[in-house]
Structure 1
Amino acid sequence: MSFEQEWGELKVAAAMRLNQAGGTGGSGPKGSADFVVKDDELGGIGHAAFDLFNGLETAGKHAKAASGTAGKGLKGDGFDTGAAFTEVIGTWEKQVKSLLQACAHISNHLDYTKASRKADDEWLETQLRIIGPVAPDADASVPASQLNKYFR
């Protein structure tokens, strides 16, 4: 099977999973077509990114001094690997900085998403209370996550 055929099959399978209401995928309750993200899930991922950021900041630099000394020593002794070693240290530092930035973006984005989603939910709840009951037999506003059943 060619790469294009396999890739095409994988895309079709993924599209079918995404379009399947009430499927087994996702973190929402079974039978629910709602998009459900729990605050503790966002918080856990954001916290892991924050921990990785804090740990990597120091751990990513722990061998810099020893590696720099070794590279200079090898270069001073006439070994070409000394210069290459020094170049690798520079590349490593760039990679660590890139990963640190990615962790910071993930953590900050999830913090923003959590706050933004909460604000959106509060706004929707307020709007639904202003409108009043959606279902004739309802005596209170319908939660946003339940509105979908009235449109089928």
Structure 2
Amino acid sequence: MSFDEEWAALVAKASERGGAGTRLNEAADPGGGGGGGHDLSAAQDELGAIGHDAYVLFGRLRKDGDLARESSDGAATALRNANLALGEELALTVGVWDSQLRTLLQSCAHISNHLDYSAKSYTKQDKEIEAQMRHRDGSAMSVSEIERYYE
């Protein structure tokens, strides 16, 4: 399957699910009212699950990704002491592996932390926006009042 065919299949599958959406003022679920054309959806449970998976991956990579470093370093030193060029190359390989592993660990940590932050931040922002778009008595602003913000 070519990239274009695979991409078209993924786009079709995503559009079947209904896409993502942003909801303000706790609009009803699709079919029960609310507008269309949403551009962002941040379900806290979904973000939390992805963040947790990134955290679990971080833990496994930290434990399992560094398994052979000590023995590989020892082998590189022994080969260098025997004046074999392979020792220097093995040491270089260990260094590259270590660098790539640290980069991957940082990425997993960043994903986990960012998704935790995003879920909390989106919820807080939605509540702030909802509060700003209500009158003191709790009633929703009219469309004409909201429209003044765009002038």
Q: TM-score, normalised by structure 2?
A: 0.66
CA contact (8 A) 1:68 1:89 kept: yes
SS of the equivalent of 1:129 reads: coil
SS of the equivalent of 1:23 reads: helix
> Kindly tell me: are residues 23 and 33 of structure 1, through their superposed partners in 2, closer, same or farther at Cα, counting changes over 3 Å?
farther
Pairwise mapping of residues 61-100 of structure 1 onto structure 2 (< 5 A)? 61-100=66-105
Pairwise mapping of residues 109-120 of structure 1 onto structure 2 (< 5 A)? 109-120=114-125
CA contact (8 A) 1:23 1:30 kept: no
Higher relative contact order (CA 8 A, sep 6+): 2
> Which letter maps to 2:58?
F
1:23 matched to 2:15? The reply is yes
CA contact (8 A) 2:78 2:87 kept: yes
Task: Kindly state the Cα deviation for residue 80 of structure 1 after the two structures are TM-superposed.
Answer: 1.2
List gaps (5 residues or longer) in structure 2. Answer: 22-28, 144-151
CA contact (8 A) 2:80 2:88 kept: yes
Pairwise mapping of residues 93-132 of structure 1 onto structure 2 (< 5 A)? 93-130=98-135, 132=139
Q: TM-score, normalised by structure 1?
A: 0.66
> Which letter maps to 1:24?
E
Task: Return the alpha-carbon distance in structure 1 between the equivalents of residues 86 and 133 of structure 2.
Answer: 69
Task: Kindly state the Cα deviation for residue 65 of structure 1 after the two structures are TM-superposed.
Answer: 0.7
SS of the equivalent of 1:78 reads: coil
Tell me which protein shows more helix as a share of its residues: 1
Say how many residue pairs are matched: 124
SS of the equivalent of 1:37 reads: coil
Which of 58, 62, 66 aligns to 2:63? It is 58
List gaps (5 residues or longer) in structure 1. Answer: 1-5, 137-152
Pairwise mapping of residues 27-42 of structure 1 onto structure 2 (< 5 A)? 32-34=36-38, 35-42=40-47
Q: Residues 95-117 of structure 1: CA distance to partner in whole angstroms, max 9, x if unpaired? A: 11111111111111111111110
Q: Say what the alpha-carbon RMSD is for the aligned residues.
A: 3.3
